[in-house]
A and B are shown apart, each in its own frame.
Chain A
Amino acid sequence: MALVVVNDLHKSFGDLEVLKGIDLEIEAGEVVSIIGRSGSGKSTFLRCLNQLEHHDWGTIHLADQRLDGGAMSPGELSQNVGMVFQSFNLFPHKTVIENVMLAPVVVKQTPRAEARQVAEQMLDKVGMLEKIDAYPGQLSGGQQQRVAIARALAMQPKVLLCDEVTSALDPELVGEVLHVLESLAAEGMTLILVTHEMKFARDVSHRVVFMHHGHIHEAGDPQTLFTQPKTSELSQFIASIL
């Protein structure tokens, strides 16, 4: 069975129905890019996957375990689903290593020495080992986002959610973050990314999902999806971003 199974997910904000029945299955090790116009519900979908938002209807299973509806505590959730935000959200009063160690120590109650070891390993993975004692304010946007990725990985989640993680970056810093994601993908990490980087979506992901008005309008392997879109909405979207 798939690692992530989403079944008939609905979510409204007041009268505004943002997700109108999402079904999606994602295999372990799969890299899925979600594309679509602004306001189509991409972020809301990701935020339901780690229960930052509570959906109104439908179920989410992860590794055959129910994840939604209060079935998992925040502590359990964080060890299943990690998340990286567009705006990094590093803790500005903590150094890089403290940012990465906080959750393992506080939530998982990992002994500090062990937590430090894991944190260093994750920072090494994102190429930020030399900046261990810097504060976030002393880092570039790209460096901060790499630390944010290491911080999410330190909880050893089964899936990593990335919501437009390069959108807040200066163009010359986008590459270093995408490079880290690419290496995670190569290691077999399961990634669900909302992205506007079409080249990345095409080259790195195994599957691309096009969201439109709260539905999955079209989905498939990147080559076919980008070169032979089946629906006019997707063709228009592709035309609008090229």
Chain B
Amino acid sequence: MTDFTLWDIVRNLLLAGRWTVVLSLIAFAGGAFVGLMLTLLRMGGLWPIRWLVRLYVDLFQGTPLLMQLFLAYFGAAVLGFDISAWTAASVALTLFTSAFLCDIWRGCVEAVPSGQWQAARVLGLNYLQSMRHVILPQALRLAVPPTVGFSVQVIKGTALASVIGFVELTKAGTMLNNAAFAPFTIFALVALGYFILCYPLSRYARYLERKLYGAGSR
């Protein structure tokens, strides 16, 4: 067995950390897109559609992300699709993120006073026009702090992708430890890696929240 210097470990973790960042970005971008569509459907669709969206949100919120990853990876194989760990992790994390963002954003849309809907309606705006010009811009302002806050959960969630063999920060740590047997050092470094990614986001979310509520309503 070769000797690992600290630098070797850090270098390998940094290389794998890239994939944590990329997977987080994919999950967040994909989740935001799907989440927005779901929010619009949940707020304005016909009742069977609204009901389906609610079921979707409840399913993803009510089951462990780990199971969702297993189902995406092994379930696809059972159904005859040969998908990579990359695809499975991206799909599962995107769906997971979309469900949570849909719920956060629905709350923000509902927080816009009903008088705004009525004003838009008596001015002749239809549902989509009201959403686009009146409701969403106001909901968006409310949505930024909790959305940034949730992105931390997405980053930490990518760690679970290690169980289906996706080599990101956590998986790289496990593999390095198998070779170098320095669990404390290695996992402390892995944890530090997540902290470096997450801490600025949590701080930023808190700052945004203070700015939004602290400054009072305009």
Residues on A close to B: CB < 8 A?
Answer: 50, 52, 73-79, 81-83, 85, 87, 89-93, 102-103, 106-108, 135-138, 151-152, 155
Contact = CB atoms under 8 A, between A and B. Distances in A.
B134 A91 contact: yes
A106 B118 contact: no
Contacts of A83: 122
Contact of A85 (B119, B134, B138, B218): B119
Interface in B121-139: 121-126, 129, 133-134, 137-138
20 contacts: A52-B121, A74-B125, A74-B126, A75-B124, A77-B122, A78-B122, A79-B124, A91-B119, A92-B218, A102-B125, A102-B133, A102-B134, A103-B124, A103-B125, A106-B129, A107-B123, A107-B124, A108-B124, A135-B218, A151-B123
Nearest to B141: A93
Interface string B172-191: 00000000000000000000
A232 B122 CA distance: 37
B218 A50 contact: no
Contacts of A152: 122-123
B123 A102 contact: yes
Contacts, number: 67
B63 to A, nearest CB: 37
Nearest to A77: B124
A89 B125 contact: no
Interface residues of B, number: 19
B119 A89 contact: yes
A50 B116 contact: no
Contact of B122 (A82, A93, A108, A137): A82
Given A89-B116, A93-B138, A93-B141, A103 B123 contact: yes
Interface in B17-67: none
A81 B121 CA distance: 12
B124 A52 contact: no
Contacts of B121: 52, 74
B32 to A, nearest CB: 21
A155 B125 CA distance: 12
A137 B218 contact: yes
A58 to B, nearest CB: 20
B5 interface: no
B138 A92 contact: yes
B217 interface: yes
A107 B125 contact: yes
Given A91-B116, A106-B125, 8 more contacts: A50-B122, A93-B137, A102-B125, A106-B133, A107-B125, A137-B217, A138-B218, A151-B123
A141 to B, nearest CB: 14
